[in-house]
């Protein structure tokens, strides 16, 4: 049974940091591109960052470039999102997602596996 479990969310002041982790029980995890999405109340689910399984190249939403770093450890079946210089507008529920595509895609419909989400709240 495939499962993605996120952890590391919480409440932080603006300018602070959080580290989100996603533990995946996916057969052949190394052949899945992984991504983080976020969804704020009343808004659509939005691509934040992704990392390809094929070439390990990361991609980021423009508003998080230079602040967030995505990484993966195929030996541990984990994906990490290091979030620095957090802003109140980063407040959302963050979801880990996986796709068998060789490259990450910003469209949620391309992802077949999803975690349950972890809340990130940034206070001003």
Span 82-95, mean pLDDT?
98
pLDDT at 54: 86
Answer whether residue 6 shows pLDDT above 90. yes
Cα distance between residue 71 and residue 69, in whole Å: 7
Report pLDDT digits (tens) over 7-59.
Answer: 999 999 999 999 999 999 988 999 999 999 999 999 999 999 999 998 899 99
Span 53-81, mean pLDDT?
96
pLDDT at 91: 98
pLDDT at 23: 97
Distances (CA, A) of 70 to 36, 43, 77: 9, 23, 14
């Amino acid at each position: 049974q495939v499962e993605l479990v996120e952890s590391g969310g919480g409440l932080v002041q603006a300018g602070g940091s959080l580290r989100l982790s996603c533990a995946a029980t996916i057969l052949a995890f190394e052949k899945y591109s992984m991504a983080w999405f976020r969804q704020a109340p009343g808004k659509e689910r939005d691509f934040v960052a992704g990392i390809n399984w094929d070439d390990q190249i990361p991609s980021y939403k423009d508003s998080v470039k230079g602040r967030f770093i995505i990484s993966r450890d195929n030996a541990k079946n984990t994906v990490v999102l290091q979030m620095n210089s957090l802003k109140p507008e980063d407040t959302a529920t963050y979801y880990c997602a996986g796709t068998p595509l060789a490259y990450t895609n910003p469209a949620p419909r391309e992802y077949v596996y999803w975690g349950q989400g972890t809340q990130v709240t940034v206070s001003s």
